[in-house]
Structure 1
Amino acid sequence: MKIGIVCYPSYGGSGVVATELGKQLAKQGHKIHFISYEPPFRLEQYYENIYFHQVEVPTYPLFKFPPYSLVLTNKINELITEEDLDIIHAHYAIPHSLAAYLACEITKGTEVKLITTLHGTDITLVGGQSSFKNITRFSIGASDGVTAVSDSLRQDAIDRFDLSPKKVKRIYNFIDTTEYRRQKPEEPLQLTEGEEKIIIHISNFRDVKNIPDVIKIFSLINKEVSSKLVLVGDGPNRHSAKKLVDELDLADKVYFLGKQDNIIPLLSVSDLFLLPSEKESFGLVALEAMACEVPVVASNSGGLPEVVIDGVTGFLSDPGAIEEMAHNGIELLENVELHNQFAQNARHRVVTNFSAAEIVEEYQEYYQRLMNN
């Protein structure tokens, strides 16, 4: 198949999943055409069967804001004709799904199918705003196929946009478990001294991630267990996080590492992953941690209970339950036998339920059904 993938190239779940899906499909012999304003950050080298098409937005004094959606529509339309695409797979509803729909309409008469994958904030945040709600509903309804990355998000989409349950199929996120596994670092990471434990958090540092809770949970854990906190990522709440660390006198205990292209070495030396988000539509980073045998202490909101099994691969608590999360973290870090069991359970769950081979096959079958119908 010839598949056009429209996604954001930035550091975030939807772009990561879209890129990894394209890479896995290319290994199966499909021709993959990525369409975005920059190369996806996980597309760092040449891959056979993968092509990138940059959307270049012209500057014109009449336009107060760059007309990205229109230029994106035109680029998708060109590729439908020039590359004879079978499928346009839009990741994130706005503007990708709408632009892809318009491109398909312009190219009437072709057999190209439009699939939209919902990733979370395109439904719960952007899609919920009155200025976007109607076009989000239209884009979803006009798609030939719609997938959501968790049962929780699927139900959110059905409820918010009054969709038929048959319209939306849940296909979980995935990772390559041959790549994501606990590895011995090529060079020692100088993060701890002696027997200190490493607690890690990775995110885009936005409000929904509850970064202050991450720091407060660590502060409570550190009073009982000698440890360091590693914060990976960047975003609008990084400055306030740094301020809170200073206020709690934790500056010598917390590392701000910024964005990291390769998080496997960091996960491979970590003992506990904190994800106390207000809501996660799936929690891809929790999956990555579990694959590297890192137990997860997280919120029991959104799609996280579909990833983390409470009392088996980690612990789940209500968002904001800082003391309970800290208690659970301490229990894991102080009980070596329990920690080892959770670590093994975590790896086993990812391999048996969220491996690339299994989930990518689901996507291929879904594509084929749409093309046959």
Structure 2
Amino acid sequence: MHIAFLTSEYPHAKISNSAGIGTSIKNLAVTLVNKGNIVTVFIYGTDCNDVFEDSGIIIHKITYKKYKFLSWYLYRKQLETYINKIIKNDQIDILEAPDWTGITAFMKFKCPLLIRLHGTDAYFCNLEGRKQKWKNYFFEKKALKSADYITAVSEFTAKKTAEIFKLHKTIKVIYNGIDIHNFSNLKVEVVKNSILYFGSMIRKKGVLELAYIFNEVINKKPSSNLILVGKDVIDIFEKKSTVQLFMNRLSKEAKKKVIYKSEVPYSDVKQYIANTSVIVLPSFAEAFPMTWLEAMSMEKALVTSNIGWANELMINGKTGFMENPKAHQLYADKILQLLNNQKLNSAFGKKAKQRIETSFSQDLIGKQNIEFFKSIIKDK
């Protein structure tokens, strides 16, 4: 099979932008290549045009071109022409694209188009209770309606998206997977009473609630430390740095015990995870987050939110604790239990790793994707 992916992000030194979607695409792409398939990745909106190979994957960087009028439409047509030429010349069987802002709206490809639901802008706006730009909703609905096939990274995301856009298409659910060998537990000394949050510093991931939660932790355990690792984002409501808003919410004592690290090399994130006693991920809006998979794969006990997708990944009281991030004292109490009880902490970590190995390893998820791709080709 020859499978292609259209994306705006991908983890590579030549690509400036990458996050969870890019990581999940690369995980799947590497698995497909290792299984003897051909993979092409089209990265749009880049700073220059380029074609190169990485780990057996053919990568096309397609620069963004701004037009005098109707750039949103003409750039899509530029992408369509370029991609269709490669589809024809290289005999691509399936093109997969993400749902975010409906990049494939008004495009028609010379092979089946599969859209994978990682979470549309409409989906995240719905979860956060904020108004969406009408054009984003329009593009996303147009793209989803014209897709030949749709898959989603969680049951929750599939149902919520179908509800928002009034979709009546069958949506195949295939969870994100992770290379359990790449994210195995590093044998390093764990820093006592250490807490880690890693991911974008943004309201929707519960970062601002975490400030209040950590205040409660410090009240009962002053020796605790919180490390924040991730890119700062301007808050959508207050138009200020989320890191600054976070710091403003801390008590005087809590502020002394917080360390913030901005963007760090991807390889270093594993070291932060390994060194930490408890991982906190209090997000309000996700689809099926790679950060959670990474921490669980590294045998770490988590305290997460308890919303939608979380129930498909976590097992409350076994792989960690789940709690509403707005319940600051209850959430803090869960963190304190894991800081104070190493036996429980270790047991949760082992169960978390087992959960990944049995249900979300990239080998298992890769096989599910391959079977789905084969069914599409057979249907075509």
TM bracket (short chain): 0.7 to 0.9
Matched, 1:212 2:208: yes
Q: Tell me what 1:336 maps to.
A: 342
Shift of 1:129: 4.7
Shift of 1:38: 6.7
CA distance, structure 2, for counterparts of residue 267 and residue 103 of structure 1 = 43
Q: How does 1:107-118 map to 2 (within 5 A)?
A: 107=110, 112-118=111-117
Match of 1:236 among 234, 237, 244: 234
Shift of 1:97: 3.3
Which range moved further: 119-128 or 48-57? 119-128
Matched, 1:95 2:99: no
Shift of 1:29: 1.8
Using a 3 Å threshold, how does the CA distance of structure 1 residues 130 and 240 change in structure 2: closer, same or farther?
closer
Match of 2:311 among 305, 309, 316: 305
Shift of 1:371: 0.6
Q: Tell me what 1:18 maps to.
A: 25
Q: Tell me what 1:318 maps to.
A: 324
CA distance, structure 1, for counterparts of residue 40 and residue 84 of structure 2 = 13
Deviation sequence 1:65-111 (CA, Å, 0-9, x none)? 57543332222222112212111011234333336xx241xx4xxxx
Shift of 1:179: 0.8
Q: Tell me what 2:14 maps to.
A: none
Q: Tell me what 1:50 maps to.
A: 57
Whether the aligned pair in 2 keeps the contact of 1:7 and 1:92 (CA below 8 Å) is no
Matched, 1:131 2:135: yes
Q: How does 1:347-366 map to 2 (within 5 A)?
A: 347-366=353-372
Shift of 1:243: 5.0
Using a 3 Å threshold, how does the CA distance of structure 1 residues 179 and 5 change in structure 2: closer, same or farther?
same
CA distance, structure 1, for counterparts of residue 259 and residue 215 of structure 2 = 14
**Residue type of the partner of 1:233?**
G
Matched, 1:2 2:39: no
Query: Any gaps of 5 or more consecutive residues in structure 2?
Result: 10-16, 47-51, 127-131
**Equivalent position SS for 2:184:** coil
Deviation sequence 1:17-39 (CA, Å, 0-9, x none)? 11221122111121111111378
Q: How does 1:23-42 map to 2 (within 5 A)?
A: 23-37=30-44
CA distance, structure 2, for counterparts of residue 69 and residue 89 of structure 1 = 15
Shift of 1:251: 4.1
Q: Tell me what 2:257 maps to.
A: 253
Using a 3 Å threshold, how does the CA distance of structure 1 residues 97 and 59 change in structure 2: closer, same or farther?
closer
Deviation sequence 1:44-85 (CA, Å, 0-9, x none)? x9634311111122355x248575433322222221122121
Which range moved further: 120-129 or 306-315? 120-129
CA distance, structure 2, for counterparts of residue 37 and residue 135 of structure 1 = 16
Q: Tell me what 1:368 maps to.
A: 374
CA distance, structure 2, for counterparts of residue 178 and residue 23 of structure 1 = 13
**Equivalent position SS for 1:183:** coil
Deviation sequence 1:219-258 (CA, Å, 0-9, x none)? 2223333222111111224834335436523444222112
Which range moved further: 2-11 or 326-335? 2-11
Q: Tell me what 2:167 maps to.
A: 163
Shift of 1:216: 2.0
- Following superposition, which runs of at least 4 residues in structure 1 exceed 6 angstroms of deviation? none
Q: How does 1:286-305 map to 2 (within 5 A)?
A: 286-305=292-311
Query: Any gaps of 5 or more consecutive residues in structure 1?
Result: 40-44
**Equivalent position SS for 2:308:** coil
Shift of 1:204: 1.7
Shift of 1:265: 1.2
Matched, 1:176 2:182: no
Q: Tell me what 1:70 maps to.
A: 77
CA distance, structure 1, for counterparts of residue 372 and residue 27 of structure 2 = 17
CA distance, structure 2, for counterparts of residue 64 and residue 142 of structure 1 = 21
Using a 3 Å threshold, how does the CA distance of structure 1 residues 15 and 68 change in structure 2: closer, same or farther?
farther
Using a 3 Å threshold, how does the CA distance of structure 1 residues 370 and 126 change in structure 2: closer, same or farther?
farther
What TM-score comes out, normalization by structure 1 length? 0.86
Q: Tell me what 1:42 maps to.
A: none
What TM-score comes out, normalization by structure 2 length? 0.85
Using a 3 Å threshold, how does the CA distance of structure 1 residues 309 and 81 change in structure 2: closer, same or farther?
same
Using a 3 Å threshold, how does the CA distance of structure 1 residues 240 and 54 change in structure 2: closer, same or farther?
closer
**Residue type of the partner of 1:124?**
Y
Root-mean-square deviation (Å): 2.5
CA distance, structure 2, for counterparts of residue 138 and residue 167 of structure 1 = 17
Deviation sequence 1:141-189 (CA, Å, 0-9, x none)? 322221111110011122122223x61011101100011111135xx89
Q: Tell me what 2:147 maps to.
A: 143
**Residue type of the partner of 2:277?**
D
**Residue type of the partner of 1:21?**
L
**Residue type of the partner of 1:36?**
I
Deviation sequence 1:326-373 (CA, Å, 0-9, x none)? 001101110111111111111110111100000011110000001101
**Residue type of the partner of 1:205?**
M
Q: Tell me what 2:194 maps to.
A: 198
**Residue type of the partner of 1:168?**
I
Whether the aligned pair in 1 keeps the contact of 2:209 and 2:325 (CA below 8 Å) is no
**Residue type of the partner of 2:113?**
L
Whether the aligned pair in 2 keeps the contact of 1:283 and 1:304 (CA below 8 Å) is no
